[in-house]
């Protein structure tokens, strides 16, 4: 029942870099299995020392951090193709938690093989650095958004970004994509209160910028949305898939 790397449904997407047969063989060996998780299941727990690394194959999740005062920061939304646990693999333990928001399928890798990968497959090592670097860059953008934008700008920015990520992995249809989270999740991701997030969403819907109902996000006016979010990006570049 395990997906063959060579037939990986994600790899077919043109957003991901191609691999040679040899490289695929190595990845297949690196991959030790596959798991399917129910919605709501924790994948990594803060402070834990997971012996495994994952790549999301299907479904969506949430990376977050809890504070002693009970507040929560959602660091990022997890989409198919995302690598999970690199920090744990490199640093020993994770300082944030990851959980499945919808049911998910994960590719499982053995952390102890990470070093083998660095020695035998410099291309994959490079890819890993690439992934970490891109994630770092992305977090810089989130920080900029949360630090410098108003509520409606942040929300527009966050949803537009999410839409773009969905688009890159083929999860969009027309101007809409799934967004299976709660308003509280979005609020915690953008540093806003639930109530204010709700009211701002209503305003954005009234202004015909975007709408989010029943787990579906629709970008109604791409131009206006990009202007509000101060985004002018072209399309995303090809990226590695581990």
- 143 binds DNA, rule: CB under 7 A: no
By a kind-dependent CB cut-off of 5 to 8 A, residue 2 interacts, out of DNA, a copy of itself, none, with none
Cβ-based nearer residue to a copy of itself, 171 or 231: 231
Cβ-based nearer residue to a copy of itself, 42 or 47: 47
By a kind-dependent CB cut-off of 5 to 8 A, residue 99 interacts, out of a copy of itself, DNA, none, with none
Q: In the bound complex, what is the minimum distance in angstroms from residue 227's beta carbon to DNA? A: 17
By a kind-dependent CB cut-off of 5 to 8 A, residue 152 interacts, out of a copy of itself, DNA, none, with DNA
Rounded CA-CA distance 21/149 in Å is 46
- 129 binds DNA, rule: CB under 7 A: no
For residue 240, CA distances in Å to 78, 94, 136, 173, 186 come to: 16, 22, 15, 24, 27
Q: In the bound complex, what is the minimum distance in angstroms from residue 76's beta carbon to a copy of itself? A: 8
For residue 148, CA distances in Å to 64, 186, 191 come to: 21, 17, 11
By a kind-dependent CB cut-off of 5 to 8 A, residue 183 interacts, out of a copy of itself, DNA, none, with DNA
Rounded CA-CA distance 202/198 in Å is 6
Cα angle: 73, vertex 35, 188; to 5 degrees: 10
Rounded CA-CA distance 179/199 in Å is 18
Contact 31, 108 (CB under 8 A): yes
Cβ-based nearer residue to DNA, 150 or 222: 150
Pairing of strands 104-110, 52-58: antiparallel
Cβ-based nearer residue to a copy of itself, 21 or 67: 67
Binding residues vs a copy of itself (CB under 8 A): 65, 67-69, 71-73, 75, 86-87, 90-92, 95-96, 115, 118-119, 122, 125-126, 128-130, 132-137, 139-144, 146-149, 188, 190-191, 230, 237
Helix (H) or strand (E) holding 37: strand 31-37
The torsion angles phi and psi of 24, rounded to 5 degrees, stand at -65, -35
Length reported for the chain: 242
Instruction: Lay out the site mask for DNA across 213-242 (x = CB under 7 A, - = otherwise).
Output: x-----------------------------
Of 183, 218, 220, 239, the residue at the interface with DNA (CB under 7 A) is 183
Give the interface with DNA as residue ranges (CB under 7 A): 150-152, 182-184, 191-202, 213
């Amino acid at each position: 029942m395990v997906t063959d790397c060579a037939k990986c449904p994600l790899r077919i997407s043109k957003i991901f870099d191609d691999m040679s047969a040899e490289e695929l063989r190595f990845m297949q060996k690196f991959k030790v299995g596959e798991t399917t998780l129910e919605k709501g299941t924790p994948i990594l727990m803060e402070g834990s020392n997971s012996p495994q690394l994952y790549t999301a194959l299907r479904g969506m999740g949430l990376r977050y951090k809890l504070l002693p005062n009970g507040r929560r920061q959602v660091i990022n939304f997890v989409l198919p193709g995302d690598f999970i646990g690199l920090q744990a693999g490199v640093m020993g333990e994770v300082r944030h938690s990851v959980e499945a928001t919808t049911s998910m399928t994960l590719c499982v890798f053995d952390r102890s093989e990470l070093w083998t990968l660095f020695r035998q497959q410099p291309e994959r090592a490079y890819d890993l650095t690439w992934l970490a670097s891109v994630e770092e860059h992305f977090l810089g953008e989130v920080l900029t958004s949360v630090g410098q934008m108003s509520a409606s700008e942040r929300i527009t920015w966050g949803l537009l970004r999410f839409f773009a990520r969905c688009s890159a992995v083929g999860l969009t249809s027309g101007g809409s994509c799934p967004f299976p989270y709660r308003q509280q999740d979005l609020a915690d991701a953008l540093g806003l209160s639930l109530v204010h997030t709700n009211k701002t969403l209503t305003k954005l819907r009234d202004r015909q910028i975007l709408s989010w109902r029943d787990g579906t996000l629709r970008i109604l006016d791409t131009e206006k949305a990009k202007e509000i979010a101060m985004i002018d990006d072209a399309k995303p570049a090809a990226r590695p898939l581990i």
